[in-house]
Each structure stands twice: as structure tokens, then as C-alpha cells.
Amino acid sequence: MDVLRAADASGRPVIQPRCGVGGHQQMVDLLRDLERVDSAILSVTIDSYTRLGRFGSAERLLHDRPADLNGYPLVAHGWQRGRDLVSAVETPLEVRHGSPDARRLFAVSVASGILSFEGGGLGYNLPYSKNVPLSTSLDAWRRVDASCGLLSREGVIVDRELFGTLTAVLVPPSISLAVTMLEARAAAGEGVTCLSIAYPQGGQVHQDVAALRAIRPLARRYVSAEVEVYPVLHEFMGAFPRTTTAADALILHGGLVARLGGATKIVSKTSQEARRIPDVVANAHGVRTAALGASSLFDFVEVDEARVAEEQYWIEREVAELVEPVLDDGDLTGAIERAFRAGRLDVPFSASLHARSDVVPCRDRYGAIRYGTLGALPFSGAALRRNAASLAESPEPRDGRSQSPIERVSADINYFVNLDGTRPRPLPAVPSPPFARKSR
């Protein structure tokens, strides 16, 4: 909390790297190494078995081959080792994971003394799980949030961070923020008093700055004014450039966008993102590069404020058109379920059977993410006309050839892959229709 409040007051976002390994001593060493590069908050990224509630599998692998775990199995290690992590560094820790049901992990985290916990009933279900009903994940997270409310009344504040990134594939800002606003409303209703609301960098500077600036007014509209709210930027989560130079440029750009958008925190990336699980050297370099982008060195950079204001107006309007029919229903969990079932809420490219994924986003000629296919989203005529106008001037294919729908979507997903001008790799043959509906 103190770190977030200080960053907010300074106008300079703090940097948080992702990190998590299986072995306890290795995790301690990793945290100490990253603390030396001035990370203001450190992550304890949890392994996949623990995320899915397979605690026995996590414990067996921890015993036999800890290096094979893709994160720190906090439940298997137990709260006493969790306290070792907290005491090993002076920097505060946050647990990041991806669990549709995080109750046990939350209990061990709090017992360890870790008071920042990421996730939510939508953002940690729809991108990660194939068939977990929304009622199950929303109820599990309601209980986590209720525990935070109880702790808050006892004077222990837990920073509840909402993921926002979703599938990390061309997620339109209004979908990301609509999901986090619904999660924020649910959390605040259970007594949560501190929310970090994350937004994933899409890559177009005016749209990203507008989305970050929209977080606070949207939170004031849909969440109690008594709740502290901090905007967070996830640096670009999609396909990353393969060369170090281009990847560093994208990371630097993220730092700059975060400061211009008024973010309190940046969750950083690394130059190894496209090739492997980043090592500690690359992670430290990513922290420094993001911090440089957010530094006073680039104070001379200004954005077109009129363009940002226009984007922000339409983002907030689209969020309202997605969120308010759900809130008007009265039964929040049931209304969310019904909206996803009908496609009035949707997440593109979701693996879950409980999101229709009828929405197919695309980029306009400036790189902003728009709605190529809207599915059943309940946008007004004005919002539909504005989206259509944004796409009226489609970007020209780089090689002059017309593109199939799958080539167009692939090019938009790989927007930054060839940032340094390297030759694009040919697309693999795709025998099946690109947008076949999932069975339910």
C-alpha cells in the first residue's frame, strides 16, 4: 500500500517484474537478485499445478524435480517458507497466478504475510480454464474478497489486483475494462478497500493512454469512492519481437505509455519473451528499460491530447454499454453468467466454453484495436458507427497482396514481431475454418 501511494503521489509508476521458480532457495535468490535492480514490488508467480488446485502433483514434483515447476508452489512449500520469502527481502511481494478458485492459495499467502493478491472470477477463469462454470469461479473469488473485507475491518489491507489482460490477444480496451469493472464492483461489495486495476498495453499510444486514464473515472462510477484505486499497465502481452533491440524498444515504449497514462505500476517484460522463460539477467534488464521509459528523460514527449480525449470518451461509453445492463439486473453473478451465455459480454480467443468468443478484434490503420466482428455485444448505434468509421480506412497489406481473414488476424496479432524490419515468416497452412464455434 505504501509503495502504491508513494508512486501515485509522485506521478512516476513503479516497476514489478514477473518471477517464480520451484525451489525455495532458488526463489529466495531470485527475489534478492531482482531487488538489487530497484524493483519496487516483487512477484511470487505460482506454478500451474497449484493454480489448478492440483496441490498433490505440485508437492510431488517439488520433491522430485523442483526445476520442472514453472513457478513457486506456495501451498506445497507452506506458509512458514512463505514468511521466509517475505523476510528475505525488504521489497513487498505480490502473488500472481491464474487460479479460478484461489481460496487455499489466498489463505497461505495471507498467513505468509503477503498482502497483495492478483486475480478475479472472470480474468482468472476465461483465459486459463476450459470448463469451469462462471458461477464456480465467481463464488470462489467472492469468498476471497469477503476475507479481504474482514481483514480490512481489522486494519489489515490487502491490495486486490485485477488481471485485465484476459487472453492477451488483441483485447479491445472496453472489454478489458468492462471485465475488471465488474470484478471491482463485486470485490468492493465484499468489503475490499484497495484495488489495483490492470490494463494490457495494446500498442497504439493514444488508445493505451486513454484506456489507462479511463480507469479512475470508471472506478468512481462503478465502485465506492472509499476504495483506493491504482491503475496498472501490463507491458505488451502478445507476440514479442525476437531481436533484443526491438524487444527493448517495445518495453521502453510501455514505460513511456504508463507514465503518460497515469499508471501507478508497470508489470514489466523482457527481451527474451519471444524465445524462452526469461532468466534473471533479462528480467533485471527489462525492469531497468521500463523504468527508463517512465523516467524524466522522456518528459518532453507529449501526446495529441484531443485524440486521447476522443478515445477515452468512446472507451468509457463502450464500457458503460457493456457493464450497466449487467449491473441493472441486481443479481450480479447471475447477470454476468447470463450476459456471457448470450454473448452480451465476451472475450476474444478464449479457451473457455463459457465465453462465446464471437468477437474478433482487428487493428485500424493506426494500430488501435477495434471490433472486426462484434458478436452480440450490445453497443449503441453511435458506438457501432464510430467503430465502423475507425475501420473504414483499412491498412494496406505490406506486400501489396489481398489478405484472407486468417492472414489479417495473424498480421494484427504479430503486429510487433517484425518491429525491426526483419522479414516476416510465412504463415503455416491452416486446413480448418478460422472462426468455427466452440462446442458447448
Q: What letter represents residue 62's amino acid? A: L
Reported for 26-33, long-range contacts at CB under 8 A and 24+ positions apart, including other chains, are: 26/66, 27/72, 27/85, 28/84, 28/85, 28/88, 30/280, 31/85, 31/88, 31/89, 31/91, 31/93, 32/88, 32/89, 33/280, 33/284
In this structure, are residues 362 and 408 in contact, taking their beta carbons and an 8 Å threshold?
yes
Radius of gyration of the chain (CA): 21
Q: How far is CA 257 from CA 176, 231, 357, 410, in A?
A: 17, 12, 28, 25
Q: Within a 13 Å sphere around the CA of 228, how many CA atoms are in the beta-carbon half?
A: 18
Q: Please give the backbone phi and psi of residue 93, each rounded to the nearest 5 degrees, phi first.
A: -110, 150
* CA dist., res. 183 & res. 185, Å (int): 5
Q: What letter represents residue 418's amino acid? A: N
| Continuous segment of H or E residues that includes residue 16 | strand 14-16
Is 318 known to be catalytic?
A: no
Longest distance between any two alpha carbons in the chain, whole Å: 64
Nearest Cα residue to 435 out of 412, 414, 409, 413: 409
Is 228 known to be catalytic?
A: no
Burial pattern 281-307, b for ≥16 Cβ within 10 A else e, equals: ebbbbbbbbbbebbeeeeeeeebeeee
- Considering the candidates 18, 51, 259, 408, report the single residue annotated as catalytic: 51
Alpha helices in 223-354 (DSSP H): 244-260, 280-293, 305-327, 332-342
Task: Quote the strand ranges of 128-254, DSSP E.
Answer: 159-162, 194-200, 228-234
In this structure, are residues 278 and 184 in contact, taking their beta carbons and an 8 Å threshold?
no
Give, in degrees to the nearest 5, the angle at Cα 434 between 321 and 359: 0
369-373 vs 265-267, strand pairing mode:
unpaired
- The grid cell for 17 is 517484474
- Considering the candidates 18, 94, 96, 118, report the single residue annotated as catalytic: 118
The contacts of residue 427 (CB under 8 Å, 6+ apart) are 406, 407, 410
Catalytic residues: 51, 118
